[in-house]
Amino acid sequence: MRVLFITSSYPSHLDDPRGIFIHRLARGLCGEGMQVTVIAPGSPSASAHGVQDGVEVERSAYWVHRWQGLATDLSGFVPNLRRHPLLLVQVPPLIAALTWRALRLAPAFDVIHAHWLYPAGIAGVIAARQWKIPLVVTSHGGDLNLARDWWALRFITRRICQAADAWVGVSRTLCEQLVALGALSDRVAHIPCGVDLPDASPPSNDEASTAHQGFKAFEGFRLVYVGSLIPRKSVETLLEAHHELVRRGHSVACAIVGSGPAEDRLQKIVQRRSQRNVVFAGAQAPSSIPGWMSAGQVLVLPSLSEGSPSVVMEAMAMSLPVVATDIAGTRELVKEGETGFLFPTRDAERLADCIEHLMGNDGLRKAMGQRARAYIEAGGLTTPQVARKHIALYEQACAMRKRAPMRHAL
């Protein structure tokens, strides 16, 4: 089977974290004998054509090459627009570029799989309608969350939901939202992003190794955050909890792994409080993340909203307990008291309580980590398992298309 991915985020090289979960799925499908080609936006740092881990990547230029900035930021398409409103002029050319490339390539494929409802979903609907090819659309969370606030995006989302042959929500909450917007419940599949299951924490000999080994050498308790530094991630809650734990007399270090527009503000918070043992590691290559996670004793994710956070599954696969906010997405992965703890959003004191409970109980941390890894394996959340679930969905979509034409279009 030949599958055409359309996405607004994809790694420009193997050490690029942007859209790594989409590349992981594409790579997993190739491992199951599928042929996968990805259409992604052009990038100043990537060639127009390439192959990564057996996945063919076609990048569509949508602006002057060196000024293609709309889809290059680590924090995502929408946060990038909010910081740089002038980039709005690049949105129509981006949609047109993805659509034009999809129309050209689609006839050679059996299924189109669009990641995110827009702009990829728009291009997918047009190409699928033109060539009468089954269309699968995945929501990764941010697209539906934004559609709740903007009526224009809500209209587009509803039309795409009505047009696709099958839909994927990476969390059960997203599946419910897709049905509410017009998707047929029997064609909505809950398939979280898959993760690789490491045999052990791999050694690293890059520059990040020295940093995370130095962090691991800290004699106190070690907390790790991995992700973009954007307001939605609420990293300041983690910094407040760290400050509270120190105030209670504990020796605690915190590694903030990632970058983004909130980084300067977060560093100023640390400086203002004179907080010690807080490490801002910056953006790291995916190959360096396991080293940082293995250097920590708990992963903390204080987000205000999430789809199905890959970083939580990556930590669980490495037998690392997780303390995360009690929100849809994380709630489906972290089992309270079994694989980690959940706390209310922005509640730094409760977060400190959860961490304090784990600090004094090595046996509990180890047991939670073991149960977390077992949950990933038993829950079908490894890359090969998730790839096989997608193949079954593609086959279902192809069978449905043979019996019925597409019902709607944008």
The tens digit of pLDDT for each residue in 220-267 reads 999 999 999 999 999 999 999 999 999 999 999 999 999 988 999 999
Q: Is the pLDDT of residue 33 over 70?
A: yes
pLDDT value for 248 = 96
The one-letter code for the residue type at 6 is I
| pLDDT exceeds cutoff 80 at 8 | yes
Report the C-alpha gap between 26 and 287 in whole angstroms: 18
Structure confidence at residue 141 (pLDDT)? 83
Please tell me the pTM assigned to this model: 0.88
Q: Are 42 and 49 in contact (CB under 8 A)?
A: no
Q: Which residues of 289-299 are buried (b: 16+ CB within 10 A; e: fewer)?
A: bbbbbbbbbbb
Model pLDDT, residue 203: 43
Residues 126 and 243: their CA atoms lie apart, in Å, by: 52
% pLDDT > 90, the chain: 62
Q: How do residues 49-95 score in pLDDT, each as one tens digit?
A: 999 999 999 999 888 777 776 766 655 666 666 677 777 788 899 99
68 in Cβ contact with 254 (< 8 Å): no
386: left (phi over 0), alpha (psi -120 to 50) or beta: alpha
Closest CA relative to residue 165, chosen from 133, 136, 124, 123:
136
d(CA 385, CA 380): 5
Question: Is 90 exceeded by the pLDDT of residue 371?
Answer: yes
- The predicted pLDDT at position 254 comes to 97
Q: Where are the domains of the chain?
A: 2-194+382-403, 207-378
User: What is the structure's pLDDT at 271?
Assistant: 96
Q: What angle do CA 275, 277, 280 make, to 5 degrees?
A: 95
pLDDT at position 314 over 60: yes
- pLDDT(31) > 60: yes
Q: How far apart are CA 92 and CA 108, in angstroms?
A: 26
Neighbouring-strand partners of residue 225: 256
Cβ–Cβ under 8 Å, residues 25 and 16:
no
Mean predicted confidence (pLDDT) in 124-151: 88
- Asked whether the predicted pLDDT for residue 201 surpasses 60, the reply is no
What average pLDDT does the segment 125-142 reach? 93
pLDDT for the residue numbered 221: 96
What CA–CA distance (Å, rounded) separates 44 from 126?
27
Residue 386 pLDDT exceeds 90: yes
The percent of residues in the chain predicted with pLDDT above 70, rounded, is 91
The domain over range 207-378 is classified in CATH as 3.40.50.2000? yes
Residue 209 pLDDT > 70: no
Give the contacts of 94 (CB within 8 A, at least 6 positions apart): 8, 41, 62, 63, 70, 71, 119
pLDDT at 73: 60
207-378 matches 2-194+382-403 in CATH topology: yes
Residues 84 and 67: their CA atoms lie apart, in Å, by 13
393 or 82, greater pLDDT: 393
Cα separation of 339 and 373, whole Å?
9
Residue 409 pLDDT more than 70? Answer: no
CB atoms within 10 A of CB 67: 10
Tokens of 28: 């997993």
Cα separation, 137 vs 351, in Å, equals 36
- Give yes or no for residue 104 having a pLDDT over 70: yes
Question: What span, in angstroms and rounded, lies between the C-alpha atoms of 225 and 222?
Answer: 10
pLDDT over threshold 90, residue 401: no
If one compares 118 and 206, the residue with the highest pLDDT of the two is: 118
* pLDDT level of residue 205 (50, 70, 90 thresholds): very low
Please give the order of strands across the beta sheet that includes 278-282.
278-282, 252-257, 221-226, 298-301, 322-325, 340-343
- Any idea of the CA torsion for 167, 185, 191, 26, to the nearest 10 degrees? -20
For domain 2-194+382-403, which architecture applies?
A: 3-Layer(aba) Sandwich (3.40)
Judge contact between 267 and 236, C-beta under 8 A. no
Q: What is the pLDDT of residues 148-157, one digit of tens each?
A: 777 888 888 8
Under 8 Å between Cβ of 295 and 212? yes
Distance CA 234, CA 302 (A): 6
pLDDT at 182: 82
| Cα gap 391→387, rounded to integer Å | 6
More confident residue, 143 or 290: 290
Cα separation, 227 vs 52, whole angstroms: 23
Model confidence pLDDT, tens digit, residues 265-282: 999 999 999 999 999 999
pLDDT of residue 77: 66
Question: What is the mean pLDDT of the segment spanning 34-40?
Answer: 96
